[in-house]
Amino acid sequence: MKKKIWMAGLIAALAVGMSAGSAYAAEALSPSDQVNILIANVKTWKPTKGGSYVLTDLDGNGRLEIITSYVTRKRTKAVGIWEVNADGNGIEACELPWKEDEEMPELTQKNVAVYYDAEEDLSYFVFGEPEETVIALKDGVVSCCSYEELDTGKLEARRGVLSWVSTSEHPLDGAPMEQILELAGESCAAFSVKADE
């Protein structure tokens, strides 16, 4: 009974949070409010079975993103990125540099090198072992280059931590909403970008 009451309260809070979000800029919303918005839109971003997702703020604009990584039916790697919209009442897909049927990079890493460009206010996240793919997000557009193309000489070296959630271990289909919210909240809380030591 308590679980049903708690769940009803959660659903009401989601509804109130989403309607209230339209009155305020997304940056004014707390991270937990933004997690609620992302999870309320799970049908939009849900990766295929065996995929993974992570909550981030790659561009540091105060609006959370959810990144998905999964294998398509054609056995190619696919990536999707959605960000809480500026009105704080939903999510919007980020523009990707890859075509839909193109092999996309492997991003499911926990620890990554990050290079910050203070002039451009842009963070470059380096994925792969050895370093292979560099992605950055600005104004809803994802850019991608190889590590060799990145001129790190004038950039500040940082370290990033991402906490991916595997849908093999934690399926989204049929899972209780409180479990999905808890995992997403943990992923969000674990995300960090700090100065390299």
Residue 90 has what pLDDT?
A: 95
Task: Please give the Cα distance from 97 to 143 (Å, whole number).
Answer: 6
SS3 70: strand
pTM comes to 0.85
Instruction: Tell me how far apart the alpha carbons of residues 135 and 145 are, in angstroms, rounded to a whole number.
Output: 7
pLDDT tens for 87-113 read: 999 999 999 999 888 889 999 999 999
Which whole-number Å values give the CA distances from 122 to 119, 155, 156, in the listed order? 8, 10, 11
* Distances in whole angstroms, Cα of residue 193 to Cα of each of 59, 111, 112, 139: 11, 10, 9, 19
Q: Which residues, in sequence order, are CB contacts of 139 under 8 Å at separation 6+?
A: 59
Write the CB contacts of 22 (distance below 8 Å, at least 6 apart in sequence). 87, 88, 89
pLDDT tens, 21-39?
A: 444 477 789 999 999 999 9
